[in-house]
Chains A and B, each alone.
Chain A
């Protein structure tokens, strides 16, 4: 049994202009210990996909389909039950470490509450365990820093704290929503390396969302390319980079700037704009921007290879 199995997931948001479908009939599965990279441009539905998994959609959001985690159905689960999974079996890291920690509480308070709530530890042992976890994400002098407030940490350090917090209960699945996007490049590399290390140490599965293909190449086993709320390509990481089959993936890969080309070369970009999620075309969502379009693209989705 896969760790996570998503079937025909549709996530929509009710707005005054109509229902916006951020995730459209999407299915995939994730094995234990596997790292799945999810790429796509802004608005492709990556974040809403993972927010759907832990049931944290905005109040006007709605899910259909099925999300099975360790055999348990998460769609339609009661808040009490989903709270037993969030932060415990599924850890989550968000994009912007500068704003995601609570600036009014000490790091100790924010970390220990997870252990106290999920594992019933007392404060002293929860704090001891939290310090160990901060050590594991290489926060220097964790023992004294744990009593500080988030604004006393740099961006990279805060993201390490977020990671440590997400891993406190040794979750089976870690969801990372662009964990390195808001950080500068050297810190990005450190964070990605850290996640690799921690995965080897704790053996959890990871869903890594990013729009940085370099990050994907560095960490993933499999890659899922999203466009317009749908999967347009899914493949093992080497295969995807070697032999991208969907024109959108090909376009994405061509858009990566390279250092090894001689002279000044104009950067490649995919012409056009992402589709309006209020009115998605019946066929392939990429149809308006695709350079290899054929008539069939207009009424049917290209099969996943």
Chain B
């Protein structure tokens, strides 16, 4: 198990290298630079800036320098947030996004699995159609529409919750963003869960369990739940990585100082180091969560054993 884990983590290095290479050169291919402004800078200042950030070196040398820095765990200084390093920006933004994201995923998992199971058990009943219609709606409404609706209803009309702001992470301020993050995930998970549960309920082992005279509750919880959860678990890996790194839209609309908005701001400002840092960080999380998914798989399915 330890050996397997080690092998998997070492195997991630080439993946990350490819990711970094692609991101680095694509970013540089984009027109414009980090210090472009409306008014062009005097050439001397431009040259000084370029020199300071090593932008005057050949691209391949910059690339090598960047790789060496990353190996040392240093993502470099941000071009735009002058007094901050990229490491510091991630360190302040990520905990915020992580807290919202984990809460959202946890809620989505419980509610989605519950709703999906209910829909599967009452297949083609009104309960099933209601859940699936809501899920379809949840998937098709983009979050830039969903978030303002949430604000309108709960903050403006009902006045129960603040319309936005972080307020140092007060619980009240987190509710709407968490709901905004969780609803689409609930929709996906309940659809996935319904489909796999229906399939499992028709399978031979479930027929055997019923032939043994076990009550329906035991058949569902002990015999059907585990196999039905497997597709949800695979979905959950990348989904968790995506949600905990923060949603650009949700964080922008609710004014939350998370990691998500650095994605867009960094890209728009050609903040090379910030974009690279966020991309690499996201890549590491994706790899990490896929690895966790495989470990959970092994826990759920006795046929899967890593040695």
**Are A117 and B223 interface neighbours, CB within 8 A?**
no
Q: Tell me, yes or no, whether B150 is within 8 Å of chain A by CB.
A: no
Q: Tell me, yes or no, whether B205 is within 8 Å of chain A by CB.
A: yes
**Are B213 and A87 interface neighbours, CB within 8 A?**
yes
Q: In the complex, A125 Cα to B16 Cα: how many Å?
A: 54
Q: Tell me, yes or no, whether A263 is within 8 Å of chain B by CB.
A: no
Q: In the complex, A102 Cα to B209 Cα: how many Å?
A: 8
Interface-side segment among A9-17, A78-86, A195-203: A78-86
A85-B213, A87-B213, A88-B213 given as contacts; is B302 within 8 A of A100 (CB)? no
Q: Tell me, yes or no, whether A145 is within 8 Å of chain B by CB.
A: no
Residue from the set B123, B205, B218, B222 with the largest chain A CB neighbour count within 10 Å: B205
How many inter-chain contacts with C-beta < 8 Å in the A-B complex?
Answer: 75
**Are A100 and B213 interface neighbours, CB within 8 A?**
no
Q: Which residues of B contact A79 (CB under 8 A)?
A: 216
Q: Tell me, yes or no, whether B238 is within 8 Å of chain A by CB.
A: no
**Are A100 and B207 interface neighbours, CB within 8 A?**
yes
**Are A149 and B213 interface neighbours, CB within 8 A?**
no
Q: Which residues of B contact A232 (CB under 8 A)?
A: none
**Are B222 and A87 interface neighbours, CB within 8 A?**
no
Contact partner of A113 (CB less than 8 A), chosen from B123, B210, B214, is: B214
**Taking the nearest CB of chain A, how far is it from the CB of B55, in angstroms?**
57
A83-B215, A117-B214 given as contacts; is B207 within 8 A of A104 (CB)? no
**Are B212 and A165 interface neighbours, CB within 8 A?**
yes
Contact partner of A149 (CB less than 8 A), chosen from B207, B215, B222, B303, is: B303
Contact partner of A100 (CB less than 8 A), chosen from B208, B216, B218, B227, is: B208
Interface-side segment among A37-45, A64-72, A91-99, A288-296: A91-99
Q: In the complex, A94 Cα to B203 Cα: how many Å?
A: 12
Q: Tell me, yes or no, whether B199 is within 8 Å of chain A by CB.
A: no
Q: In the complex, A94 Cα to B206 Cα: how many Å?
A: 12
**Are B214 and A83 interface neighbours, CB within 8 A?**
yes
**Are A101 and B205 interface neighbours, CB within 8 A?**
yes
Q: Tell me, yes or no, whether A114 is within 8 Å of chain B by CB.
A: yes
**Are A84 and B207 interface neighbours, CB within 8 A?**
no
**Taking the nearest CB of chain A, how far is it from the CB of B61, in angstroms?**
55
Chain A minimum-CB-distance residue to B303: A151
Q: In the complex, A149 Cα to B301 Cα: how many Å?
A: 10
Q: Tell me, yes or no, whether A62 is within 8 Å of chain B by CB.
A: no
Q: In the complex, A96 Cα to B216 Cα: how many Å?
A: 23
**Are B302 and A94 interface neighbours, CB within 8 A?**
no
Question: Beta-carbon contacts of B183-223 to A below 8 Å, as 1s and 0s?
Answer: 00000000000000000000111011111111110100011
Chain B minimum-CB-distance residue to A85: B213
Q: Which residues of B contact A114 (CB under 8 A)?
A: 212-214
A104-B227, A105-B222 given as contacts; is B213 within 8 A of A96 (CB)? no
**Are B203 and A84 interface neighbours, CB within 8 A?**
no
A99-B203, A113-B222 given as contacts; is B211 within 8 A of A104 (CB)? no
Q: Tell me, yes or no, whether A140 is within 8 Å of chain B by CB.
A: no
Chain A minimum-CB-distance residue to B225: A104
Q: How many residues of A contact B (CB 8 A)?
A: 31
Q: In the complex, A64 Cα to B213 Cα: how many Å?
A: 22
Chain A minimum-CB-distance residue to B215: A83
Q: In the complex, A99 Cα to B206 Cα: how many Å?
A: 10
Q: Tell me, yes or no, whether B65 is within 8 Å of chain A by CB.
A: no
**Taking the nearest CB of chain A, how far is it from the CB of B164, in angstroms?**
45
**Taking the nearest CB of chain A, how far is it from the CB of B107, in angstroms?**
26
Q: Which residues of B contact A85 (CB under 8 A)?
A: 213
**Are B302 and A103 interface neighbours, CB within 8 A?**
yes
Interface residues of B in 214-262 (CB under 8 A from A): 214-216, 218, 222-223, 226-227
Q: Tell me, yes or no, whether A118 is within 8 Å of chain B by CB.
A: yes
Interface residues of A in 86-136 (CB under 8 A from B): 86-88, 92, 94, 96, 99-106, 113-114, 117-118
A79-B216, A96-B204, A100-B204 given as contacts; is B302 within 8 A of A86 (CB)? no
Chain A minimum-CB-distance residue to B124: A59
Q: Which residues of A contact B203 (CB under 8 A)?
A: 99
**Are A102 and B211 interface neighbours, CB within 8 A?**
no
Q: Tell me, yes or no, whether A56 is within 8 Å of chain B by CB.
A: yes
Q: Tell me, yes or no, whether A54 is within 8 Å of chain B by CB.
A: yes
Q: Which residues of B contact A101 (CB under 8 A)?
A: 205, 208
**Are A94 and B207 interface neighbours, CB within 8 A?**
yes
**Taking the nearest CB of chain B, how far is it from the CB of A133, in angstroms?**
14
**Are B212 and A105 interface neighbours, CB within 8 A?**
no
A56-B207, A103-B205 given as contacts; is B303 within 8 A of A87 (CB)? no
Q: Tell me, yes or no, whether B300 is within 8 Å of chain A by CB.
A: yes
**Taking the nearest CB of chain B, how far is it from the CB of A41, in angstroms?**
22
Chain B minimum-CB-distance residue to A96: B204
Q: List 30 A-B contacts (CB under 8 A).
A: A56-B210, A85-B213, A87-B212, A87-B214, A94-B204, A94-B207, A99-B203, A99-B205, A100-B204, A100-B208, A101-B208, A102-B205, A102-B209, A102-B223, A103-B302, A104-B227, A104-B301, A104-B302, A105-B222, A113-B218, A114-B212, A114-B213, A117-B213, A117-B214, A117-B218, A118-B213, A149-B302, A149-B303, A151-B303, A165-B212
Residues of chain A at the chain B interface (Cβ within 8 Å): 54, 56, 59, 79-80, 82-88, 92, 94, 96, 99-106, 113-114, 117-118, 149, 151, 162, 165
Residues of chain B at the chain A interface (Cβ within 8 Å): 123, 203-205, 207-216, 218, 222-223, 226-227, 300-303
Q: A99-B205, A117-B213 are in contact. List 8 more A-B contacts (CB 8 A).
A: A80-B215, A94-B207, A96-B204, A99-B203, A100-B207, A104-B227, A113-B214, A151-B303
